[in-house]
């Protein structure tokens, strides 16, 4: 369980991010900006929670262990965060085609993404043990980094955030080279 000190640090960090650059005391209209930012933070925190649960599942933790951490039953955790099967329709194998790449693990996903990238596939999403990739006419580089802060450093080198899959961030960079044929 989270300690009081951990909760305080999280609240301090979230509060600072939400309040950054605002002066609600000086300008009452900025209260609406506060509401908007707090709602965006809530959405981001919910997504981080979902991604952390999926990462814990991929690491082998049981629904019972996750439920205990979340203060809910195994069944409640599984219902809330379990695999939501969605029907994804692939486009024709043209420039706009999308598909799932997987199953992949933390040990082999980068090698698989390297091969896919040379064929013009770039990551646009990620799920447990899989990547959603989109076909393009050019080759792509993929990089996985630990999410430690702002991405400006990577963006200066031409990388763009493809997907945040806590605790990872997957970056992609267009090489400009024509995609290799399969």
Ramachandran angles phi, psi of 24, nearest 5°? -65, -25
For 26-83, the pLDDT digits (tens) are 777 788 888 888 888 888 888 888 888 877 887 788 889 999 999 999 888 888 887 6
Looking up tokens 């991604």 gives 51
Each residue of 130-179: pLDDT tens digit?
899 999 999 999 999 998 888 888 999 999 999 988 888 999 999 999 99
pLDDT digits (tens, 9 = 90+) for 103-143: 888 888 999 999 999 999 999 998 878 899 999 999 999 99
Tell me, letter by letter, the H, E, C secondary structure of 114-142. HHHHHCCEEEEEEECCEEEEEECCEEEEE
pLDDT attached to residue 87: 34
Structure tokens at 43: 């959405």
pLDDT at 88: 39
How far, in Å, CA of 53 to CA of 125, rounded?
Answer: 17
The per-residue pLDDT for range 89-108, each reduced to its tens digit, is 344 444 458 888 888 888 88
Q: Has residue 84 got a pLDDT over 70?
A: no
């Amino acid at each position: 369980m989270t300690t009081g000190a951990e909760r305080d640090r999280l609240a301090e960090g979230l509060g600072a991010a939400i309040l950054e650059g605002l002066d609600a005391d000086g300008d009452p209209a900025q209260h609406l900006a506060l509401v908007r930012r707090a709602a965006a933070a809530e959405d981001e925190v919910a997504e981080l929670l979902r991604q952390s649960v999926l990462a814990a599942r991929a690491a082998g933790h049981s629904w019972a262990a996750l439920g205990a951490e979340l203060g809910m039953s195994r069944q409640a955790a599984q219902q809330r965060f379990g695999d939501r099967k969605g029907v994804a329709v692939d486009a024709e194998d043209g420039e706009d085609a999308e598909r799932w790449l997987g199953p992949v693990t933390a040990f082999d996903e980068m090698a698989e993404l390297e091969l896919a990238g040379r064929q013009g596939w770039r990551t646009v999403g990620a799920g447990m043990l899989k990547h959603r990739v989109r076909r393009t006419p050019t080759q792509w580089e993929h990089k996985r980094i630990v999410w430690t802060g702002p991405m400006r450093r990577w963006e200066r080198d031409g990388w763009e955030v493809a997907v945040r899959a806590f605790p990872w961030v997957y970056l992609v960079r267009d090489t400009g080279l024509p995609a290799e044929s399969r």
